[in-house]
Amino acid sequence: MNPSGQQQFRLPGRGSRIGAKSVRFTFDNKPYEALEGDTLASALLANGVHLMGRSFKYHRPRGVLAAGVEEPNALMQISRDNARTTPNVRASVQEVYDGLQAQSQNRFPTLNFDIGGVNNLLSPFFAAGFYYKTFKWPAAAWDKIYEPFIRRAAGLGQAPTEDDPDRYSNRFAHCDVLIIGGGAAGLMAAKLAAKKKQTIIICDENPHFGGWLLSDTDIRIDGKAGPDWAADTITELAAMNNVRLLNRTTGIGYFQQNMVVLNQRITEHQSKPESGDARERMWQVRAGKVIIAQGAIERHMVFPDNDRPGIMQASAAQSFLNKFGVAVGSQVAVYTACDTAYAAAFDLAEEGIDIPIIVEHRTDIADDLLAQASELGIRVITGAVVEGTGGKLRINSVTFAKQNGNDRETIEVDALITSAGWTPSLHLYSQSRGKPQWDEDTQRFLPGESPQECVSIGACNGTDDLSDIFAEAAKCTGSRAPRHAIEDDVSTMSGFIGATGTSADKGKAFVDFQNDVTAKDIALAVREGMHSIEHVKRYTTNGMATDQGKLSNMHGLAIASKLLKKPIPAVGLTTFRAPYTPTTFGSFVGHSRGRLFDPIRQTPIHDWAVENGAEFEPVSQWRRAWYFPRSGEDMHQAVDRECQTVRSVAGVFDASTLGKIEVVGPDAAAFMNIIYTNGWDKLKPGRAKYGIMCREDGFIYDDGVVGKLSNNRFHVTTTTGGAPRVLNHMEDFLQTEFPDMRVWLTSTSEQWATIAVQGPKARQIIEPLITGVTISNEKFPHMSVVECNVCGVPARLFRISFTGELGFEINVPADYGRAVWEAVWERAEPLGACVYGTEAMHVMRAEKGYIIVGQDTDGTVTPYDAGLSWAIAKAKPDFVGKRGLQRPDLMAQGRRQLVGLATKDPSKVLEEGAQIVADPTCPVPMKMIGFVTSSYWSGTLGKSVALALIEDGTNLIGKSLYAPMADEVIEVEVTGTVFYDTKGERLHG
Amino acid sequence: MANANVATPNNPTSGNRFANSSVTIEAAAPAARISFRATPKGAKDFGKTLGIDLPTKPGLSASNSSLSALWIGPDEWLIIDTKNSINSLMPRRENANFCATDVSHRNVAFIISGDGAENTLCASCPRDLSPAAFPVGTASRTIFGKAEVVLLRIGKTSFRLECWRSFSPYVWDLLIDGAQDAHI
């Protein structure tokens, strides 16, 4: 070792995962060297850097605790550039690449000197439940002081401020067997299942398959070292075309019917990602069978000041040594309640690192362990506890004693490794809706039977011995147990030990590092009445950080169980939720960003509207032409002009987005009678009718004009946004309530492009384009439909109006939409007509009091409320909504009814949504008797027009009401809903 | 020669073509399409007219030169003819046993072909499209991202994807995005 130079803690010749090539990276802007294959944590440790972060609440200095995904402390901001910066990346997971920039988090101004550290001194005030207790009073302080304060303190790291330039992708996959975890258990299962010709996906969250075999180099399988056996197995699997190997891929969630979601990180480790590669890929895998081989996670020991940099899991120290050739210190003490820590200690000692003491919590230790320790000159004190540690930014001493307090001793160290046993990872098993079972013998939760086709093997199933693990892999794949000679220096493994110790009542003994929860906090929560682990968790925030309690949950549970004097299973276990590890939004979003966020639907005439300067508005997924401003016009002027041109000459409008449903069959009319409130028996082929559709509860669901093409065939139109749900509603009733009716429904919304021509000159415009029919007022009156040819293509022509003017709607097959539109426009323009958009359409229909479902109705409006009682065929024996409409509350007097509002000052345009009151002088909160649903400036009438739902509205016609706004109260008069051409004569022009 | 008085058709997908080393995606030529709903008798009768037995099991299709009939639901078929006109396809008369609706212009189609065709589709379609589960001739109404589509496997490494016309720009872009990973 070379303590003065770079990478002074790198041991030459050690580390199976690192290459010879150096890479350079920066941490808090300081340059460092690392070796290819390093994680950020191993690279910093190689350089003697243990201080990697500050804790969330107390801002205590923290080092790396783990070598895997469970790391709670060393969370970093990793950046390539301003747009590619990711907060809260675990240094133990991030692979170092040339040029990587890492910043520590939650400190100001620097990691070494952090002003927030004052919180540590104030910590008596920040005990569990602090927030609940403190911010209750005075109530007024919440907005001004508490919430801003908490918001400032909340969150870790910086979210990027620029758009993410990278691509993320998704893949749906199916396989016979999905294996999650590529350690000894998973690899063996894959090897055996692959021989059975099954399709297999095996994933592992690490860059390399092998799991613990890569960290414990003393294991021999058939004489081969663990890493070599793993490498050979991978080579074998990679050559088989029924096996897909996914490294750097985490099983993040287990859902219904064996749907497991995997998150693959593709470029996070690359210095210069290849352009075109997705940064991450989400795999949504539907597996015949799932084999969970997630492994286990080592718990830390809980004792005062157990969070100083330099204190870490024994398994982490072993991994750093054997995978990366990094020594975690030069004088490394051990505190353990589990045999596996000895393996770590022995490996370090064999490299010449001083192991001054093993503080053993248990009293009975296997002789062979003690013998090996003594052979390596390591002192072991049994039945002992660590009472505290010293040091500021790094541990420099450890104080330990016998459990009764005798033989207290303090020695100098620069690292302390601990083990309180291993927690089997039940996350995915639990997400499969399997119930964890408490195993009294080994004091841990183990998987039981999952209701889904899945099995847990290996360490996550509580199986510690490698021979047993291989036998499990054989059993779950239906293979004969393979025979392998397995050797190891330390093979036994102890179960869970209540590692709270007597000393945990003093000082800060951390249970949850990331959320700064101590053993005392858990005790306080129990004292204050939190007796369920779910309550303890929420009161203390134990297990609620981004690591989701991978280290802390079992400790919290054990401490609470001890204080409550209840067995652990009686205290309960908190729920495991997806994702298993933090997953980026990009990965969840996948392809669905930008243009692919949601389909944007355009009509066949859309491009013409673009070319002619239309402004567009979104209507459900559609983009509709909103208005067509001429140069110098604002929206208001354009809409005024469009309305007035339609009313005085004519206008052409793209109505293609209207929903269209073809209702066909011998029972079509009977079906229409059921679905609509109107009667359809008398309608003759060639005629059309406005129909209202209710839900069973009697409220308006949709409306539209329906044309009868023949005795068997109706052409139904729906609102633009309502098309899919109306078809579903119809299918629902047809299939479940009226399966005997011989009727078929087909969506034809997109078969037809629909061109509305409205206005006094509408007939003059279209007449020459039409062949096969006469469209005079006598031969083709208002509310007619005919099949004919328009511009030489087969068309369905309607005589209908949504403006109150003489109007036609031409439906032609969509491919011809644009050409026919252009032909119509070629006729219309010279006559002085205009094209108009949805805004003018809205104004004109409001002038006529025509409702828009969803704007003038809100799902609580009946046809009676909307003034459409004429559209209800009361004599019909039944229709959907008939019984609903007979409910007393729907028949009651005083319901909100649709009326018109005329502002006293005609130039004032009400705000849509404005509340209406009867008496604006009564005290606040005053009674609101209704609200404005539609409101426009009518250029045609030279005044504002509005529709509103008002309690008992029809009886208030002629009365004054008020709309109290922020800066004024607007007086309105209640009117009828028709403002223009009240007799409706223009329709028949 | 086209009649000068007849409007010219305009299809949103025409000319679309994309290719990389694993997959080619092209707009299919305009086709005649019928959404056919029928009783078993109606299906049998129409099958005779078409010269093709309408399949009666989920996932099946039947083809006869340019004509294909895809099982969509227990009483629903999508009839596609890539050569003949809709007029020659539509039943002359209405009948109590069936309903034929011209949807030629409602749908557009893309042909996805090449070794990466399956992967391209699997980026956004949750169906198992492996040859074992979805052999040549299989048809299915399914989803592609947020769009409803009908998939027909027309060859070992080629598919026909039908979608509603206004979804075609979305489906096209999504196909191209999926094609980036088709080799994986």
Residue in chain B nearest A603 by alpha carbon:
B166
Structure confidence at residue A504 (pLDDT): 59
Instruction: Please state, in angstroms and rounded to a whole number, the distance separating the CA atoms of residues A657 and A616.
Output: 13
Say if residue A544 is in the same domain as residue A475: no
Contact A820 B130 (CB under 8 A): no
CATH of the domain at A489: 3.50.50.60
* Structural domain spans, chain B: 20-179
What is the nearest CA distance from B76 to chain A, expressed in angstroms? 9
Contacts 24+ apart (CB under 8 A), A616-621: A617/A838, A617/A839, A619/A657, A619/A720, A619/A721, A619/A838, A620/A720, A620/A721
Say if residue A726 is in the same domain as residue A812: yes
ipTM: 0.96
Instruction: Please state, in angstroms and rounded to a whole number, the distance separating the CA atoms of residues A936 and A852.
Output: 14
Q: What is the DSSP letter of A912?
A: T
Mutate: best of A168, A815, A821, partner B, most B CBs <10 A = A815
Domain assignment present for residue A258? The answer is yes
Say if residue A515 is in the same domain as residue A465: no
Mutate: best of A587, A591, A755, partner B, most B CBs <10 A = A591
Q: Are A95 and A427 in contact (CB under 8 A)?
A: no
Structure confidence at residue B29 (pLDDT): 95
Mutate: best of B14, B46, B101, B173, partner A, most A CBs <10 A = B101
Residues 6 or more apart in contact with residue A610 via CB below 8 angstroms = none
Which chain B residues touch A752 with a CB distance below 8 Å? 105
Domain assignment present for residue A199? The answer is yes
Residue in chain B nearest A816 by alpha carbon:
B9
Nearest CB to A664 within list B12, B101, B174: B101
Say if residue A94 is in the same domain as residue A230: no
Which chain B residues touch A710 with a CB distance below 8 Å? 94
Q: Which residues of A224-244 are buried (b: 16+ CB within 10 A; e: fewer)?
A: bbbbbbbbebbeebeeeebbb
Say if residue A488 is in the same domain as residue A511: no
Structure confidence at residue A440 (pLDDT): 86
Question: A737: how many CB neighbours lie within 10 A of its CB?
Answer: 12
Say if residue A833 is in the same domain as residue A898: no
Say if residue A526 is in the same domain as residue A436: no
Domain assignment present for residue A255? The answer is yes
Q: Are A765 and A824 in contact (CB under 8 A)?
A: yes
Domain assignment present for residue A393? The answer is no
Q: Are A596 and B174 in contact (CB under 8 A)?
A: yes
Beta pairing partners, A385? A401
Residue in chain B nearest A750 by alpha carbon:
B106
Say if residue A33 is in the same domain as residue A88: yes
Q: List chain A residues with pLDDT less than 70.
A: 1-5, 130-132, 134-137, 149, 151-154, 490-505
3-state secondary structure A277-292: CCCEEEEEEEEEEEEE
Residue in chain B nearest A820 by alpha carbon:
B7
Structure confidence at residue A497 (pLDDT): 55
Which value, to the nearest 10 degrees, does the dihedral of the CA atoms of residues A217, A219, A221, A222 take? 100
Q: Are B99 and B115 in contact (CB under 8 A)?
A: no
Contact B10 A601 (CB under 8 A): no
Structure confidence at residue A354 (pLDDT): 97
Nearest CB to B7 within list A284, A712, A819: A819
Residue in chain A nearest B164 by alpha carbon:
A750
Which chain B residues touch A604 with a CB distance below 8 Å? 10, 12, 165
CATH of the domain at A73: 3.10.20.440
Say if residue A736 is in the same domain as residue A786: yes
What is the nearest CA distance from A603 to chain B, expressed in angstroms? 7
Contact A823 B128 (CB under 8 A): no
Say if residue A489 is in the same domain as residue A504: no
Structural domain total, chain A: 5
Instruction: Please state, in angstroms and rounded to a whole number, the distance separating the CA atoms of residues A623 and A615.
Output: 10
Instruction: Please state, in angstroms and rounded to a whole number, the distance separating the CA atoms of residues B114 and B121.
Output: 12
Structure confidence at residue A505 (pLDDT): 67
Structure confidence at residue A401 (pLDDT): 95
Stretch among A132-141, A460-469, B56-65, B86-95 having the lowest mean pLDDT: A132-141
**Is the CATH number of domain B20-179 3.20.20.70?**
no
User: What is the extent of the structural domain holding A676?
Assistant: 653-844
Which chain B residues touch A602 with a CB distance below 8 Å? 12, 166, 169
Q: Residue A707 burial (CB < 10 Å; 0-12/13-18/19+)?
A: buried
Say if residue A219 is in the same domain as residue A186: yes
Instruction: Please state, in angstroms and rounded to a whole number, the distance separating the CA atoms of residues A855 and A385.
Output: 71
Structure confidence at residue A4 (pLDDT): 45
Instruction: Please state, in angstroms and rounded to a whole number, the distance separating the CA atoms of residues B91 and A482.
Output: 66
Contact B106 A750 (CB under 8 A): yes
What is the nearest CA distance from A778 to chain B, expressed in angstroms? 28
